[in-house]
Structure 1
């Protein structure tokens, strides 16, 4: 997910580890103390790395509404479907946008297109609240109000709905094209009718 962040932190951690071990070995110690310190240190390394990975994989600066709208606009413009190359374009644009707008100072908010695609899905597809038109007519006003209040994207719901609709259509178009290409290749094989 956030491989670049994990790699950077692990690299810094090992650099500090190297400095610490070098310093400890250069200090005069009781003969067995250095071995005990080394064992404790190297046993703790995997635990610290696992903790860092767990922290990084669950933390991401939440996008402000303006950045969410920009991501939605890019999804509508690019129609990336499941194309890694097009999601790479969206990710590159969003990284530039997020740095320029001050949301993050790190130029790789999205590591790549897959990371951006996963984040798009988690923001807008996994928690996609039904639009009022999709709600059953017998739903009570209280339930409807509760659905609206609990929608994290209620302020931008119209553009979310439009972007999700465009995304869904682009995915359908992509797979329809893939199926057509596969069917045409099947007819090229001898013995196929």
Structure 2
């Protein structure tokens, strides 16, 4: 279900879409669609082709073994085939359960966070989860529009991108990633003319989005715990 990052057509602002207000008010996540997490999980795994194919292959091998075991050679063939296909089934399941790793997807998630500035446990995370589910499905990174079961799943995925990292606030520069240098050996024009060098990055500056999204999340965390414990600042001062 995962695919390599092939394009950088990042949609930076979906809040200007005509249906944006409808999305925010009528967000339907898998937790609202399915009766239980188990039914959601079964639905998703049944739409994951590698798992379905290897499961059917294993089932066919078992049936062949049960009904056509008239010789030692056939038994050895079926047993060896089954032993070979079982690891394939396990590997497919492992691929199904590992988190999505796609640069375009991560950038779109970070843009959503920067744009919406979601509060911890706020309704904004439901909208973000809905939009990211649609993004994965539309870009064929997931076989159903139900990757994140609820807003907490999406929030946890986002935290996995930033948790434990150290960020440094940087001021905006007029020319990012551009360095002017003077060459003593080769000049294209007059001796006083500078040669410009720059580092090319395919797509947006990932680190910049990551840092800004982490800053927003940290502020949201501070606001959340300040709201739950209004006297936390006074308590901290007493312990100093």
Unmatched 5+ stretches in structure 1: 134-148, 181-193
Counterpart of 2:92 (choices 52, 70, 88) is 52
The Cα of 1:45 is off from its aligned counterpart by 5.7
Q: Is the contact made by 1:71 and 1:94 (CA closer than 8 Å) also made in structure 2? A: yes
The Cα of 1:121 is off from its aligned counterpart by 2.7
In structure 2, how many angstroms separate the alpha carbons of the residues matched to 1:45 and 1:179?
A: 55
CA change 1:62–1:167 in 2 (3 A) is: same
In structure 2, how many angstroms separate the alpha carbons of the residues matched to 1:50 and 1:28?
A: 26
In structure 1, how many angstroms separate the alpha carbons of the residues matched to 2:203 and 2:215?
A: 15
CA change 1:93–1:128 in 2 (3 A) is: farther
Q: CA RMSD in A?
A: 4.3
In structure 1, how many angstroms separate the alpha carbons of the residues matched to 2:53 and 2:227?
A: 46
Q: Which has the higher helix share?
A: 1
Counterpart of 2:60 (choices 6, 16, 19) is 19
Q: Is the contact made by 1:6 and 1:52 (CA closer than 8 Å) also made in structure 2? A: no
Tell me, yes or no, if structure 1 residue 63 matches structure 2 residue 113.
no
Q: Is the contact made by 1:6 and 1:53 (CA closer than 8 Å) also made in structure 2? A: no
CA change 1:124–1:5 in 2 (3 A) is: farther
In structure 1, how many angstroms separate the alpha carbons of the residues matched to 2:68 and 2:94?
A: 34
Unmatched 5+ stretches in structure 2: 3-40, 172-198, 231-240
CA change 1:23–1:78 in 2 (3 A) is: farther
Partner of 1:186: none
In structure 2, how many angstroms separate the alpha carbons of the residues matched to 1:127 and 1:6?
A: 36
The Cα of 1:117 is off from its aligned counterpart by 2.7
TM-score (norm 2): 0.47
Partner of 1:164: 214
Partner of 2:195: none
Partner of 2:111: 73
The Cα of 1:69 is off from its aligned counterpart by 4.4
Partner of 1:122: 160
In structure 2, how many angstroms separate the alpha carbons of the residues matched to 1:5 and 1:126?
A: 31
The count of residues paired between Structure 1 and Structure 2 equals 159
In structure 2, how many angstroms separate the alpha carbons of the residues matched to 1:178 and 1:41?
A: 58
TM-score (norm 1): 0.55
